[in-house]
Structure 1
């Protein structure tokens, strides 16, 4: 299985593990990721990257709110307004697209290190395993 497929499954598993709280889990993942990235690229850098990815993902999920979303309130409102399956699919799509963009900008090893720092050990262990299996 390719790293991208494994990463997708890893994110999907963590977003969808509690269907009744998809929005809360997705927002928590975004908040933790934002803390790590803002420390490196600043708030405006993170906001620009996030807005770009919202723009890309809106082609597949047109109900997502605009990309100018400090605090992820608009994302929260958008996800809460959808059925569980649609909200989960969009949350996973947005996170994977964002991470794919981040990998293109800073590379896989640094992205994995950021994910380890930002997210739970389960997510970090899976990401590290993916890199080791690829090498």
Structure 2
């Protein structure tokens, strides 16, 4: 199972950077899809708690990602995150977005396990995004 995380991290980075010219829009779409999936399971409060913690941890590497200004107002409102990412060049925005997603998903996996996390990601982002990761699960 130790190989799952690096492969999942690479999958997230590829998903964020699949269209370098549209890294911000791609990032927001990934967040919106993940939020819809998770809120149906853990509710908005649970999602916001995980998201806020992830922003806080990501802020250690990317201090310009202020947790208070990028919290979504509702389940699919990532306008503030989009504004925050838009203030950076595409490469930096992509790195920060991938880091935020990786941290969020790592926390989720610690809480609910790899199998359920992979299932949620598959539901949110589709089969192709996770094929490599799931092949490593026992």
Structure 2-normalised TM-score? 0.90
- What RMSD over aligned residues (CA atoms) do the two structures have, in Å? 1.3
CA–CA separation in structure 1 for the residues paired with 2:130 and 2:5: 15
Q: Compute the displacement of 1:101 (Å).
A: 0.1
Question: Which sections of structure 2, spanning at least 5 residues, go unmatched?
Answer: none
Structure 1-normalised TM-score? 0.92
Structure 1 partner of 2:119: 113
Structure 1 partner of 2:108: 102
Q: Which has a greater percent of helix?
A: 1
Distance 1:98 1:104, change over 3 A: same
Q: Would you say the 8 A contact 2:16–2:97 is kept in 1?
A: yes
Question: Which sections of structure 1, spanning at least 5 residues, go unmatched?
Answer: none
Q: Compute the displacement of 1:114 (Å).
A: 0.3
Pairs within 5 Å for 1:31-110:
31-67=32-68, 68-70=71-73, 71-110=77-116
Ranges of 4+ aligned residues in structure 1 off by more than 6 Å: none
Structure 1 partner of 2:12: 11
CA–CA separation in structure 2 for the residues paired with 1:36 and 1:69: 15
